[in-house]
Structure formats: structure tokens, C-alpha cells
Amino acid sequence: MRPELQNVPNRWLIAIMGTLLQLALGTVYAWSFFQQPIMAANNWTNSEAAWAFSLAIFFLGLAAAWGGVNLPQFGPRKLAMSGGTLFSLGYFIAAYALSIKSLMLLYVGYGVIGGIGLGLGYVTPVATVAKWFPDKKGFITGMVVMGFGFGALMMAKFLAPTFMVITSGNLVLVFSYVGVVMIIITLPAGYCLVNPPPNFVPNGYNPPTVLAGAQASQDMITAKQCIFSSKFLMIWTVFFFNIIAGIMFIGFQSPLLQDLMKKTIDPTTLTNPQVVAELAAAGATLIAISSIFNGVGRFFWGWLSDKIGRVQTFRLILGTQFVVFLALLFVSKPMIFSMFVCYILLCYGGGFGSMPSFILDVFGQKLMPIVYGAILTAWGCGGIVGPQIVAFLKDNFASEAARYTFMSAAALLFLGLLITFVLNNKKFTLLYPVSQK
């Protein structure tokens, strides 16, 4: 081992702890497990209940942007632990909100406070681990964000069902217990996140040679110039459209599946407790299985982007989903529906798995935390638009809600696909660089 690496933490341990932190934060993706029970217990509409999830994702995006800018100042440990604390606190406040049936307090707790915790916690391990693995950018960032995708599996098949049984379906206690689990996981994981030493180079890695003039030109570029560039806007829009398509299902995949299954069941049995329980179990199973695809997609597409290029990867992600959403218009079998949902979540996760390395390639390591944090505002905006489209359609066009949802997603994906043919993988440069005097 080189002498300068003797006291350096094991970078794989840091990657594993970053993945564990993402696993805990990713439980937010199991919101559709709670959507109908919360509506039933409080007599709230689809749209009212969905706003809690939408706000959580929106503030995730805002907090991630702020966290990216301030990560160099505060360091990864402080931001990650702060994020874990706020995310846990969001569950506790949500539990109290449910106990007093306060919709606004649910929004503040789960949506605003929990969402801010999500953003601080999410951006930190991605930006930090990328610095430790310059030799495996797509692979390692895909692995870390894969943990976030698996969070819904942990919640939908383990935490939530277990706590629902223990508490006899008491949502107040369920949210409280989940908050305790989040603290136990996020604080130790966040504590382990640290930056590599200056000029860190892994054993066996030879950094690519950069011409002095090109490096000087890159160093002159500011984060503001990157964020207000047309290239950033196009990347943001492609990411935004892909997020909307996937998050529509994340927030409503369980209700959509149950609606489809109800068409194959005798209407007179729909109020039977056993039938209701079977429908809910089917929805939870889909959440769990699709979360696996969400997680694997982050790893798979991140790895593939190392092989074929970032833009080429996004063309595949958007183009194939466009075809799937059109096919969904003609699907009547729950099993086929579930298979298509899993593929959509595979591509949804793929956007997150490929984006960190895309930002690294285009805007460079120096500005990565800031620019990547800014790109995550697309997640926040998508978290508002996607679930609210479905909620509005379900509340106002119940019988045609699914078809309208699929048509909307297909249209957005097609627009995103067109934009990818204008994009390229080249490093961002100023068209008219400002000379230094």
C-alpha cells in the first residue's frame, strides 16, 4: 500500500454506509402503501393525501440543491446526519398529525421537514462516494442510489406490514415506530461519510491526462454558468420527464393495480374484508417487486452508461418507456400491468443511476456537488407534477384515469426523447470564454 493511503478509511466501507443511508431514505417510495389507509381513516381525497408525498419529493429537490452548494462548507458527515435526523422527525410529526387528523400538519411534518431531511441525506453520499471512486463513476453512484430504490421494498414488505400487525393497523404507532427505525439506521451511516484526502488517487488508477489549456478553461467556469446553460436546461428537462413518468406509479401503483383487479372480481364482494385485504396485499407485493427493479435499474443503467455513454443510455431509457406506456393502454391483465410497471421503475431508477456520472462527465468533479444538487430540483418538481396528475385524474375521471395517465406519460417521454438527440456527452465549455486579465 502506498504510504499516503495507510490512514485513509476503506472507500468500500464508505460506499456501503452511503448505500445503507439511501436504503433508509428510500422508504419514502412506499407511500402508496399508506395512501388508501390514510384516506380511509381520515376521509381525505386522493389529491389531499398525495400532497404529503408530493411535498416530500419537492422539498427533497430543494434541499438537495442547497446541500450541494453547502456540502464543501459543512462536510458530508454533518449534512448526512442532519438529513437523517430531520427525516426521522418528519415521521414523528406525521404520526402526531394523524392522531389529531390534521392534514396541514401532515404536510409540514412528512412533506416539508421530512422532505428537507431526504434532500440533505440523498445528495451527500452520492457526491461524496463519487470522489472516492474516480475509476468507477457510473458503477459506484449506481450502487449507492440503488439503495434508495430498495427502500420501498424494506418498507412495503417488512417494516410497514410488521408494524401494522403489531399495532393492529394503528397508523399513528406505525409512523412512530418507523421514525425510530430511521434514526437507528441513518445516524451511524451518516457518521461514516467523510471526504477523501486531497489529491486522492486509488491504487492502480491512472487519471486521464488533461491538457493544461483545457484544464484552465474548465477551471474558469462557474457553477452559475453551468446551471444557466442550455445544456443544463436540456439535461434537467430530460431528467424531469423521466421522473414524472416513474413517480406516477410510485405514488399510485398499488391503487392502480387494485382498480384493475377489481374489474375481474364480483362487485358484490368488494366490501368483503378478506377481499379488501387480498387487494391490499397484491398492491404491497407490487410495491416490493417494483422497488427491486427501481434499485437494480440504478445499478444496471449506471453501469451501462459507462459502456455506451450517458446520452445514449437516456435515449434507451426514454424510448423504451414510451413504447411501454403506449402498450399499457391496451393491457387488461393485472400480471402484464405489473410487469410493465416493473420495467418503468427499472428505467426510473436508471435515470438516477446515470445522472451523477453524467454531471461529472459534463461539468467536472469540482462543480459536481453544486450542479448535481441543482439537477435534483427536477426530482422535486416531478414529485409535485407526477402524483398530482394521477390524483386529479382519479378524483375527476375515475373510470378513465389509468388511460389518461398512460397517455400523459407517453407524451412527456416522447418530448424527452427528442431532446436527447440534441444532447451529447462532451464536457461543457463556454461558447465565448471570458478572458482573465
The reply to whether 132 falls in a domain is yes
Q: How far is CA 94 from CA 34, 113, 149, 257, 348, in A?
A: 12, 10, 22, 26, 27
Residue 96 CB-half CA count within 13 A? 8
Residue 209 CB-half CA count within 13 A? 1
Domain, as residue range, for 297: 10-196+220-420
- What pLDDT band is residue 433 in, cutting at 50, 70 and 90? very low
The reply to whether 400 falls in a domain is yes
Residue 43 CB-half CA count within 13 A? 0
The reply to whether 170 falls in a domain is yes
Contacts 24+ apart (CB under 8 A), 167-172: 169/37, 171/34, 171/37, 171/38, 171/41, 171/95, 171/98, 172/95, 172/96, 172/98, 172/99
The reply to whether 149 falls in a domain is yes
Cβ(60)–Cβ(119) under 8 Å?
Answer: yes
- Per-residue pLDDT, 77: 96
Cβ(77)–Cβ(193) under 8 Å?
Answer: yes
Instruction: Tell me how many domains the chain contains.
Output: 1
Residue 131 has pLDDT above 70, yes or no: yes
- Per-residue pLDDT, 291: 83
Residue with C-alpha cell 437516456? 314
Residue range 14-30: mean pLDDT, rounded: 93
Residue with C-alpha cell 423504451? 320
The reply to whether 362 falls in a domain is yes
Q: Which residue has the higher pLDDT, 207 or 219?
A: 207
- Per-residue pLDDT, 157: 83
Alpha-carbon distance of 55 to 37, in angstroms, equals 19
The reply to whether 430 falls in a domain is no
- What pLDDT band is residue 355 in, cutting at 50, 70 and 90? very high
The reply to whether 210 falls in a domain is no
DSSP states of 169-183 as a string?
T-HHHHHHHHHHHHH
Name the nearest CA neighbour of 159 among 276, 44, 34: 34
**Residue 271 belongs to domain with CATH number:** 1.20.1250.20
> What pLDDT digit, counting tens, does each position of 276-303 carry?
888 878 888 888 888 889 888 988 998 8
The reply to whether 284 falls in a domain is yes
> What pLDDT digit, counting tens, does each position of 55-93 carry?
999 999 999 989 988 998 999 999 999 999 999 999 999
